[in-house]
Amino acid sequence: MKYDVIVVGAGPAGSTTAKYAAENGAKTLLIDRRKEIGVPLQCGEFLPDKKEIKDIFPKADGLSELFDIDEDLISKKTDTINMISPKGKEYKIHFKGFSLDRPKFDKRLAYDAVDAGAELKLHVVATGLKNGMVLTNKGIFKGKIIVGADGPFSRIAKWSGLSTPSNLSPCILCLVKGDFSSEIKMYFGGVAPGGYAWIIPKSDGANIGLGVQKNLNKVSLKKLLSKFLEGYVHDYEEILFMSGGYVPVSGTIPKTVKDNILIVGDAAGHVMATNGGGIPIAMICGRICGKIIGEHINNKVPLEQYETEWRRCVGKPLKIASDTKKLADFFFKHNIIESPMRLMGIRGMERAIRCKGLGVWG
């Protein structure tokens, strides 16, 4: 069967792309290699609220429709991020958001795409691209446009000659049962060399994990997490689940459109490099991608308009985040993160969290 667009990967970026492509009249196929959407969990599950997202990405459109999150998808609302230095100094930032039931959230996005008219096929593994065809373990699918929303190791990008994110931060997380305050905690220093450890509260426990820089870490992630739990987390009853993954932290790839191929989400480096947050950008860029595909099918709008539009909407904050991360990497490398945190103070770190650079220190 031939489609206007085939979207590879049913995470937030791919599902949002598929939804808006279908809504705008494109015959859309959404495929995913997993048997179940959203499983296994591979992230911290935190999403800023709409006002915070608007503050970070003021040029982005459609935020109300994208981030009007159903209450049943929210695990716990939060209003404070506590950034804790290697020596234990705390910097509390007012920042509203919530932890998600991420597997349920991802499923909702995928089936929103189905409700919009997209066709969803699971347990379909892309094995190659050839002349507008996606080769898979379940046969060949023909598409006028192919979207790679298949994560930081994107095969679609590689097969089409586009770049993939050059710097990936390995992460590990666990879900624990217990009673936690509504405060998000981020720990810097030896607990997570070159990155940070987190405690993100949920309704009946917490999502706890850490991400590191590969070149600065000499210990297995499992050992680091075990040590972090033992030394810093005293409120949990049991570990319910453990998983891991990789987060792009090198900024966006140079080019996200080539001929009939478009790249979106983690595959494109659509992540805030300073904190690894990717859900808002994935959905913002997915919406842009889907709408441009619809306009291309209906009105011959060039696909390159997708690149122009996402860079207009989120490019500057993502570049600031990438530059800030590079500066932080210097301090991490020389093990001097304590002093910069003191110099930055709450205002400086608040600017960093909101992708506004380090123009205000102290």
Count up the domains in the chain and report the number.
Answer: 1
Of 88, 146, 103, the closest CA to residue 306 belongs to: 146
| Residue among 91, 69, 93, 90 nearest 79 (CA) | 93
Question: Is residue 230 in a domain?
Answer: no
Q: What is the pLDDT of residue 33?
A: 98
Residue 200 lies in a domain: no
pLDDT of residue 276: 86
Q: Is residue 153 part of a domain?
A: yes
At 303, phi and psi to the nearest 5?
-65, -25
Nearest one of 186, 181, 237, 182 to 208, comparing CA atoms: 186
**Is residue 276 assigned to a domain?**
yes
pLDDT averaged over 10-residue windows placed end to end, the chain, 362 residues? 96 99 98 96 93 97 96 98 96 97 98 99 98 95 98 98 95 96 96 96 97 92 97 91 94 97 98 92 99 98 99 97 89 87 92 78 39
Do you know the residue count of the chain?
362
Spatial contact of 163 and 253, defined as CB atoms under 8 Å apart: yes
Give the CATH number for residue 158: 3.50.50.60
b/e string for 288-317 if b means 16 or more Cβ within 10 A? bbbbbbbbbbeeeeebeebbebbbebbbbb
- Token pair in block for residue 267: 């595959």
Is residue 154 a part of any domain in this protein? Answer: yes
Containing structural domain, residue 64: 2-72+101-166+249-325
pLDDT given for residue 361 in this prediction: 41
44 part of a folded domain: yes
The torsion angle over the Cα atoms of residues 334, 338, 342 and 346, rounded to 10 degrees, is 110
Q: Considering the domain boundaries, does residue 134 fall inside one? A: yes
Would you list the DSSP string of 294-353?
HHHHHH---THHHHHHHIIIIIHHHHHHHHHHHHHHHHHHTT--HHHHHHHHHHHHHHHH
Determine the pLDDT at residue 197: 97
Predicted local confidence at residue 333, as pLDDT: 81
Is the CA virtual torsion 119, 13, 129, 37 positive or negative? negative
Does residue 78 belong to any structural domain of this protein? no
